[in-house]
Amino acid sequence: MTILLFLNEKSHDGVGDDDRRTDRENAGDLLTDFVRLLVEIRKQRRDVALVSAMPIREIRFGGDYVFARWAGDHRNREHLRLLKAVMNRAPFQDIGPLSADGLVSYLLDEQEVDGLGYAHAFGGLAVSMMTAERWNAAEIDVVRRELVEHDDSGLYLVDRTTTVRHAATRQHVNSHGSWLAGAGLRQLHTPSHLWNARADLFPHLAFLARVESDLLALGPVHLRQVSDRLLELEKAMSSWNPRITAAPAWMSKVAPEAEQRRLLCVFEDLDGTRRSFDLHARFTPGAGRIHFRTEYAARRIIVAYIGTKIEHRRTG
């Protein structure tokens, strides 16, 4: 699933207005450093897309240095190519003000902030050009102002302080490493989305073909639980060092089936051989199970079954 990055327009609005010389000297570096920030993010997740509340081609610093001048410099050719690639992945372009419908707005110092607001509303990551020290933060607190219906059926504006994920430097990106690893799971609204995104989200997990039908049988509540368990299995396997420990450090309860139940967990493996997948993780509500086996040499997990506790011998 695509991870959305939202450009904080306040990090470039008005920059250089009071100092044209500084503008000319540094504006190109600001844009180049911003693309390098995107490179750092793509090292952790390649499926990212950049969205801007205003067209990036219209960005200017102090009314003098415009984006077109930077883009026209042959030294920036590769940076421009990468920037376009990240922008072209976006599901929408040049989004307008978040407060256009009057239902919700986000404010910083009593000024509306669209990029930061969209990042929070869509569960994405706000990104800034490092034009001021205030953007040197991995999280930024903003006020979310929304129209809320109370018990008396009246509509009232309610302010709540909320925190937005943010990055303007490599250090900020690294601080969001865990989130980037699992980002997008909350946007997996259907089992088919999870199945189609499995290679990107779980590179250390393989799935028997039959698991697709298991996923399609899941309801929304179970889908979220299964997504969480699979992510935990992925993290455990990716961080496992076989020279230090004999098995991965599981992040939730993982156990083998009792001896008398192991025949219930036999499935045809990826290579056509029938094997026991008696290791299982649990999910709720109910007695949910994810049955798998580990290939220690390949450092991967093969998932064979996702569903309720197996009570009868299966043929799949």
- What's the pLDDT tens digit per position in 82-114? 999 999 988 776 677 777 767 788 999 999 999
Q: Which two tokens stand for residue 165?
A: 């994920």
pTM of the predicted structure, to 2 decimals? 0.60
For residue 30, the surrounding DSSP H or E stretch is helix 20-44
Give the pLDDT band of residue 55 (cuts 50, 70, 90). Answer: confident
* Domains of the chain by residue range: 3-180, 190-308
Q: 77-88 vs 20-44: helix axis angle to the nearest 10? A: 60
The fold adopted by the segment(s) 190-308 is YaeB-like fold (3.30.2310)
Q: Report whether 262 contacts 272 (CB < 8 A).
A: no
- What's the pLDDT tens digit per position in 223-281? 878 988 999 999 999 888 888 898 899 998 899 988 888 889 999 999 999 999 999 99
CA distances from 69 to 19, 60, 75, 78 (A): 18, 10, 11, 15
